[in-house]
Structure 1
């Protein structure tokens, strides 16, 4: 009997660990971008709402006067998609884009334009019962990637969260921080998560064949992004990093069957812009007869080759096998989840959707027994910090709480919060611009709980 009871306990413990593992998977983000051009023919649009946690209509356009151009087909074709998403508790996060550096300079450097745009963002979210916004500003001048972009995200985060703390604020960022002009760590402070666009490492500007999203083995890879460019964020809070993966690839024209071969343009006018032609995952079965599939162990990527007249076409496109390695890497690094560029690019093929289900199980229902039941104060992020830092805490029930900042000799220097707050996970931003460098302490207190942690400011 004693042995039997012991085995029952072991089985119970193992089952709890299994449930915790499933619960941890379920908390991962699966962020699917849905471009407007993919919904033109909604009858043939295949979206598996069981595989995603977020859907992002791509895209709304940010205008240099602060106005916002609505996405195409709003709302005629989008409402049925949103209804299905809401039925599955999928969050709807609009994507706001601008790829014009001159317009972005105006948006980011004019206080009136910035204020108008943020007001318009909040209005769109409220009027359409949306869950948040993803900022995708690309092609910025170097001088606008630092302080102007930081200030915009600071204001967007602060003002939008004040309107409704449940709104999710995120930003899509380049995989490589060329010339170190971006401050990824600062931007993550004013985002619920950052989306690493882990594709286009190699493309129309490259003079040799290569995968659009190599895991390893070349100068620019996913591993370099996560372990170098985004290393500070990953070290402090990897859940803030979402690794966006491509459901597409590139076909290169060459005279060689070897990988990384020199590229030939697709027309007589030599131009980087015609060194590639895009290929989508759904098109793989329709590659020409006698196409050879090859796995490149150096980059952990799949590619295909076939003869086309006098040339050899090398088609580097991830399939379910190479994408699985990238998803496993995101899981190993305990990242916040994955992104998909883009929904619809897999057509009716189920392989990628099945892969996501097996890795992230987005439709899992939370298990009440393992939800936290105690107050918890997390370490601020980033720490040490320069300028501002995020303080995160968990309340198991509605409580009257105080969040206070003290200097190194115990003097109260700032009160961040002093009121009732609902149960759940919360975060506040401590702006230390007016404080000198040094060690400070932050304290959460309620009638039944208090905890203090140390933070350090470096200027």
Structure 2
């Protein structure tokens, strides 16, 4: 192996494992002249000594870094609410929401680690979609920690305001993502299990947040995976949405964004993380303009989203950062050399600190920043404030994109300005709060369960006003489907289904809490649902 070949490997490693950029660069200089297998072994040993052990040690994205920071935090109880299952998004509320004044999609990720007092600050009438973050996915397609899903309080409140709930499914790291996508058994397992999670939580779809550098080729598989998943979820859950969180820039020619956009309902383009913990110089996390590739070039460059913007702009949502980057720096000049990464301040903190230290504006990138000194040490923070966010929102809307979105709700804290900006640019939906208990009570109704708890069997009785079809799906509290049953009804009346405590293969199930989801579809295609919980005591 020639030294030039080895240098190419060093360059790639500096991109792939950002936290160790400086150390690898310095070591590579000392290694000049070393060739062949010896250099590769030495490089591998050096990386191991630095502690690089996979996805957990080397974050692959902002979403991943945030998850690593908060992975052990519990889900805020305010999001979960009662133990009852959520109510679905009803036709009545959905139609009222569509008749409102919100112009385009406003999509917000909502992490489980939001501050306890934030939940009441969400203005649901300014959102069209909210994405609980997240249900974790394992490499074999099974689901891991769901962080308390279903979040009944959140889903019910969102649905009362006509907001669609899109469950986030996360998997980080090239190796894990590649293993899942290359194995049909693992793919099928994931599709079944995420379908069940969507159903049990009454969500309105799923956004796939699989991330990694893609150096093992998994981006070549994602289009086919998404197409199969989209067809499957659409068939299993009519009216649902399937989307993908995609990178802003194809830095290494690994992505076909046009194909990926065609394979699902839409893409949430993560228009951030241009700078971060790996950066050698300070700079914007989401440059609108400037040298090289930016948010503006992303819309027109065919290497990125130019083709999709021209032909299918309705497939794209522009994600913006509600966070900034803070570094210790060599001096106070913009673009100064980084001495150490500090943290990712939330939007609310950056706004308040900028007012204290003096907010500055970078004309080149059209973003905000500020600087201050701690003794002799210079520090810089670059972030998007209302002025830079407005420019990005406007660019997305002017290019007829589906809308815009935020990573992440909660990071604006109690600041009202971000909500006011959304209202000014995108409109405010007419409030659609309704009593969900009254919806569909005439056309379809499930009677109270009795006896409950039960031992041997339980009868579930329901009434329909007109002929139609009833589908009943029984789930345990892990979201696994235990039993299914359906009936075509040619007349109105009262009907019943008796469950004997056995699964679909006839085996007795364990004691515990179970939920049955009824879906009634009338002859005109309109649908209503109802849920009941029961306790089995052996």
Instruction: Tell me if both proteins adopt one fold, taking TM over 0.5 as the criterion.
Output: yes
Deviations 1:17-61 (A, max 9, x none): xxxxx989724111100011115x256662121221101010111
Structure 2 match to 1:30 = 106
Give the one of 334, 339, 343 matched to 1:264: 339
Matching of residue 46 in structure 1 with residue 112 in structure 2 = no
**TM-score, length of structure 2 as denominator length:** 0.59
Structure 2 match to 1:325 = 391
Q: Which has the higher strand share?
A: 1
Cα distance, 1:364 vs structure 2? 4.8
Give the one of 224, 238, 245 matched to 1:151: 224
Distance 2:198 2:134 in 1: 14
Cα distance, 1:152 vs structure 2? 1.1
Cα distance, 1:217 vs structure 2? 0.6
User: How is 1:189-338 mapped onto 2 (pairs within 5 angstroms)?
Assistant: 189-228=262-301, 229-265=304-340, 275-284=341-350, 286-287=352-353, 291-338=357-404
User: How is 1:66-81 mapped onto 2 (pairs within 5 angstroms)?
Assistant: 66-75=141-150, 78-81=151-154
Distance 2:354 2:295 in 1: 30
- Residues 107 and 405 in structure 2, CA contact (< 8 A), matched pair in contact too: yes
Distance 2:236 2:136 in 1: 22
Structure 1 match to 2:535 = none
Cα distance, 1:236 vs structure 2? 0.4
Q: Classify 1:159/1:43 alpha carbon distance in 2 versus 1 (closer, same or farther; 3 Å).
A: closer
The structure having more radius of gyration, on CA atoms, is: 2
- Residues 99 and 140 in structure 1, CA contact (< 8 A), matched pair in contact too: no
Give the one of 139, 142, 163 matched to 2:212: 139
Cα distance, 1:100 vs structure 2? 2.5
CA RMSD in angstroms, aligned pairs only? 2.4
Distance 2:350 2:255 in 1: 36
Structure 2 match to 1:14 = none
Higher relative contact order, structure no. (Cα contacts within 8 Å, ≥ 6 residues apart): 1
Distance 1:140 1:262 in 2: 25
Distance 1:68 1:152 in 2: 17
Cα distance, 1:128 vs structure 2? 2.1
Cα distance, 1:285 vs structure 2? 5.3
Deviations 1:51-107 (A, max 9, x none): 2110101011111222112421334xx221222111100000000010022221221
Q: Classify 1:118/1:127 alpha carbon distance in 2 versus 1 (closer, same or farther; 3 Å).
A: same
Distance 2:431 2:119 in 1: 29
Give unmatched runs, 5+ long, in structure 2.
1-97, 433-522, 527-538
